[in-house]
Amino acid sequence: MKYDICIVGGCGHVGLPLGMAFADKGQSVVLYDINDAVIEKVNKGVVPFKENGAEKVLSKVVKNQKLKATHDKTVIRDSKVVVLVIGTPVDEHLNPKVGDIIRAIKDVEDELRDDQLLVMRSTLYPGVTEKVEIYLRKMGKKTLVAFCPERIIEGHALTELYELPQIVAGTSAEATKKASELFKLLTKKIMVTKPTEAELAKLFTNTWRYINFAISNQFYMIANSHGLDFYNIYDAMTEDYPRLKTFAKAGLAAGPCLFKDTMQLSAFSGNNFFLGHSAMLVNEGLPLFIIDAMKQKYDLRKSTVAILGMAFKGNNDDSRESLSYKLKKILEVEADIVLCNDPYVNDPRFVSIDEIKKRADIIVLATPHSVYADEKWDGKEVVDMWNFYGNGGLV
């Protein structure tokens, strides 16, 4: 066959670094995607989003023709392994959109061959891998099916793909063997589970993180509403205290994965996942808490407020599901003028740091991009829930 690996949804945040990593290990990789703008970028060696260390690897694997991107889905039939990694969001009612995966499979079904391995890598609602297996068998296909979830932290794929163990769950022993061989090209440790266990392992991983951020955010709100400095308490608690190693700092907990995966798990637990929903109330409530506290301290109606950072996390350009936008929306009701800045997110409505320095009365540090560290905000009020500037996280 012409290609070792075809990645469906290959120009996205998960697909592209994965394809680059395989190509860098000598595999011939083709990325099938439906977004022509990103396909063009990738084929020119341009990484369409911020990903540490990606430029060098992409230009290398494009130049040595180990990787290319295309909108032509017939490349699927020319590949030994097909990895599916399209987005799996929740819908407007926070229910998993299981149909998207089945639709994507139907869309490429004619290209799938009996001697291929199909690896599902998107985060899946429990049971979907088996549903895909049943669907393919119904269509008379013998394609092997495995679920191998991505657990990389966005922006660090090109280190973590090689360092983290890979969970592998085939729907048959042969699928598990082939998928394990595939990921052994990247990492030493393979953890084998059943498909539904692996689907839950991925959801548990993200939900565990989301709940942990909620603990910090709730503690932050408790301390703050009593006029106490959460970070002074945090430092006292965590200094040389190993049992609190994973105690996160407070801050906006958002992005395209943690929230929606917690909601997927909630749907899987009959909407009785009290801890998950509580975490959602806390994390989604933090912008409201911040603005309420600001209202008590400042005359917001007469204030120009600037939001620093619109990406969902620091040093990243991904604004999907960023809570900075929730802050912006509420502040547009409460404040006189709202200005936004982000060094990495492109938006013609955003203003420069110089303009913020000229016009803003209050600064809200929403996303702790390192480039903000050297800025001086003389004469301005700074709301710093991250304690980024080290003056305490009080509003």
Ligand X SMILES: NC(=O)c1ccc[n+]([C@@H]2O[C@H](COP(=O)([O-])OP(=O)(O)OC[C@H]3O[C@@H](n4cnc5c(N)ncnc54)[C@H](O)[C@@H]3O)[C@@H](O)[C@H]2O)c1
- Which residue ranges make up the site for ligand X (CB under 6 A)? 8-9, 11-15, 32-35, 38, 85-88, 104, 107, 122-123, 150, 152, 154, 256-257
Q: How far is the CB of 124 from ligand X (least distance, A)?
A: 7
Q: How far is the CB of 320 from ligand X (least distance, A)?
A: 8
Structure tokens at 238: 């965590």
Q: CA-to-CA distance for 61 and 83, rounded, in angstroms?
A: 18
Q: CA-to-CA distance for 222 and 351, rounded, in angstroms?
A: 33
CA angle 319, 323, 324 (to 5 degrees): 75
Q: How far is the CB of 177 from ligand X (least distance, A)?
A: 24
Q: Can you tell me which residue has the tokens 């492109």? A: 346
Q: How far is the CB of 274 from ligand X (least distance, A)?
A: 23
Pick 12 or 19: Cβ nearer ligand X: 12
- Nearest by Cα to 256 from 200, 319, 325: 319
Q: How far is the CB of 332 from ligand X (least distance, A)?
A: 27
Q: CA-to-CA distance for 388 and 369, rounded, in angstroms?
A: 9
Pick 150 or 342: Cβ nearer ligand X: 150
Q: CA-to-CA distance for 395 and 374, rounded, in angstroms?
A: 20
207-223 in b/e form (b: 16+ CB < 10 A) is: bebbbbbbebbbbbbeb
Residue nearest to ligand X (CB): 12
Q: How far is the CB of 113 from ligand X (least distance, A)?
A: 18
- 79-84/166-170 β-pairing: unpaired
Pick 2 or 71: Cβ nearer ligand X: 71
Pick 14 or 223: Cβ nearer ligand X: 14
Pick 58 or 339: Cβ nearer ligand X: 58
Pick 86 or 323: Cβ nearer ligand X: 86
Pick 128 or 356: Cβ nearer ligand X: 128
Q: How far is the CB of 174 from ligand X (least distance, A)?
A: 25
Pick 21 or 356: Cβ nearer ligand X: 21
Question: How does DSSP assign 15-39, residue by residue?
Answer: HHHHHHHHHHTT--EEEE-S-HHHH
Bridge partners of residue 168, in order along the sequence: 192
348-383 in b/e form (b: 16+ CB < 10 A) is: eebeeeeebbeebbbbbbbbbbeebeeeebeeebbb
To 10 degrees, the CA torsion angle through 101, 103, 109, 114? 30
Pick 257 or 308: Cβ nearer ligand X: 257
Structure tokens at 189: 């440790």
Q: How far is the CB of 72 from ligand X (least distance, A)?
A: 11
Q: How far is the CB of 33 from ligand X (least distance, A)?
A: 5
Question: Cβ of 52: how many Cβ atoms within 10 Å?
Answer: 13
What type of residue is 148? C
